[in-house]
């Protein structure tokens, strides 16, 4: 089998995308790895992610701010990364037009067998 080599993560294919673009690089029952081109997009007012899987995010390029429903705001610069536990409500408060992310969604270890019902994210408004 030949490895797949399609794009450079730091220089996605040129396009006219105005909105955020999320591409699943690897979609596996155990985890999903996403490449996110934000194009300056932030979460809509009042929108919160409330995901059933933990998420590790790495800001590859640009600047961003994540807001948590605890009231904390985390400012990120290129190279910064954070683990967001499952069910931790958060939103993208702001990001620069050049922001690029890697996001890894995975099931936190609960000490028991994985529950495949938990692989669907619950996103709330």
Is pTM beyond 0.85? Reply is: no
Beta strand spans in 69-124 (E): 73-77, 81-84, 90-95, 100-106, 123-124
The full set of domain ranges for the chain reads 32-90+118-125
**Spatial separation of the C-alpha atoms in residues 4 and 123, rounded to whole Å:** 31
The model's pLDDT over 62-114, given as tens digits with 9 standing for 90+, comes to: 999 999 999 999 999 999 999 999 999 999 999 999 999 999 999 987 665 54
Residue 51 pLDDT exceeds 70: yes
């Amino acid at each position: 089998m030949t490895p797949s080599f399609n794009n450079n993560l730091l220089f996605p294919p040129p396009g006219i995308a105005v909105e955020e673009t999320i591409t699943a690089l690897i979609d596996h029952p155990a985890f999903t790895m996403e490449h996110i081109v934000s194009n300056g997009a932030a979460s809509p007012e009042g929108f919160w992610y409330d995901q059933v899987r933990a998420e590790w995010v790495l800001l590859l390029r640009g600047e961003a701010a994540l807001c948590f429903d605890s009231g904390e705001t985390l400012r990120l610069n290129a190279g910064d990364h954070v683990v967001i536990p499952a069910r931790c409500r958060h939103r993208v408060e702001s990001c620069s037009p050049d922001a690029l992310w890697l996001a890894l969604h995975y099931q936190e270890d609960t000490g028991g067998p994985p529950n495949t019902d938990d692989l669907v994210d619950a996103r709330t408004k």
